[in-house]
Amino acid sequence: MQQEISSQLETLPARKQDLKAFLIVGLAAILWLAAYKVIQPFASWLSYGLLGLSPASHLSSSLAFFFYDVLKIILLLGGMIFAITLLRSFYSAEKTRTWLGGKLNG
């Protein structure tokens, strides 16, 4: 009985750490989505408002698209790198070798 209680107490900090990690990842995902949503208005503001270019000109439209696309690509690459890193953390090198070895031999 006492061993069961002590084992439950030992796993309690791990559960808190897991909850904290999930909350951090969830908050980061919300921030990422919010940043992704404001890219277009930010690019428009940057090219038309801050630089003072006319929205009717080809140069200002090109700059707005460039700012939008660069920021979008950076956010998407960051999201992909995070997702791939998260997925790779669940698999060890030995599991991957075994899985690939079975696929190649089979």
Under the phi-then-psi rule, with left for phi > 0, alpha for psi from -120 to 50, and beta for the rest, what region is 53? Answer: beta
8 is a domain residue: no
Task: Note whether residue 76 is domain-resident.
Answer: yes
* Structure tokens belonging to residue 34: 């919010």
Please give the chain's pLDDT, 106 residues, in tens.
Answer: 556 655 554 555 667 878 888 888 889 889 999 999 999 999 999 999 998 889 899 999 999 999 999 999 999 999 999 888 888 888 888 887 888 887 655 4
Instruction: Supply the range of the domain harboring residue 24.
Output: 16-105
Q: Within a domain: residue 83? A: yes
Is residue 6 in some structural domain?
A: no
Number of domains in the chain: 1
Exposed e or buried b per residue across 79-99, where buried means at least 16 C-beta atoms within 10 angstroms of its C-beta = eeeeeeeeeeeeeeeeeeeee
The reported pTM is 0.66
Measured CA to CA, the distance from residue 63 to residue 51 in angstroms comes to 10
